[in-house]
Chain A
């Protein structure tokens, strides 16, 4: 069965420090991979996606993610965290064939401390 795992419910990081939010997946083939962010009382906002090509994907607000096929991971990173980055982050995958449903992780709450 297809699945996405975000092993950390919460990540705390000091402002100015680099941050990493982890995501691993189990999907056959080469899926599309996504990161979304959710602020309180808001819907999901798209951050970045991996479709094909360079394994390092750059997205909105200075975020980037690295696709690692051998480890089936797609970790979200940012070199220098801001307090305003504090939010709920979701990793998602979509198979390139078959059901085409988006499978989301359970979310990781990022807290950036001033």
Chain B
């Protein structure tokens, strides 16, 4: 079974531009979560989508947005890029939603998209 795939693997943008990152979950997985990884902050949760609905959102500005399609693939968009947005963006998929009481759904991570903002 193929793992989580993310495209592109590397991106270089300039300040003020916008960017779209893509994530294809493991076949059959319906939940996709996005994380931002930076050296000083570790991994920070951006948002989670399940069945095309955003279920959870982290503390990021509105410039960060996402969506999920009917085939569970997800995209993340960052508008008006800032230097501080340079990071590794990780996508994780799970069979079901992360927030189901009494149920644990393991997350499987993709290799990430390395975004550099100049």
Contacts and interface: CB of A to CB of B under 8 A. Distances in A.
**B and A form one assembly:** yes
Interface of A: 6, 32, 36, 41-46, 49, 51, 90, 92, 94, 96-97, 99-107
B45 A102 contact: yes
Given A90-B42, A106-B40, 14 more contacts: A6-B42, A32-B104, A43-B112, A45-B109, A46-B106, A49-B106, A97-B101, A100-B98, A100-B99, A100-B100, A102-B33, A104-B35, A107-B42, A107-B43
15 contacts: A43-B90, A43-B112, A45-B109, A46-B108, A51-B104, A90-B43, A96-B102, A99-B99, A100-B97, A100-B100, A101-B45, A102-B33, A102-B45, A104-B44, A106-B42
Contacts of A107: 42-43
A40 to B, nearest CB: 11
Contacts of A99: 56, 99
Given A105-B42, A106-B41, A94 B109 contact: no
Contacts of B112: 43
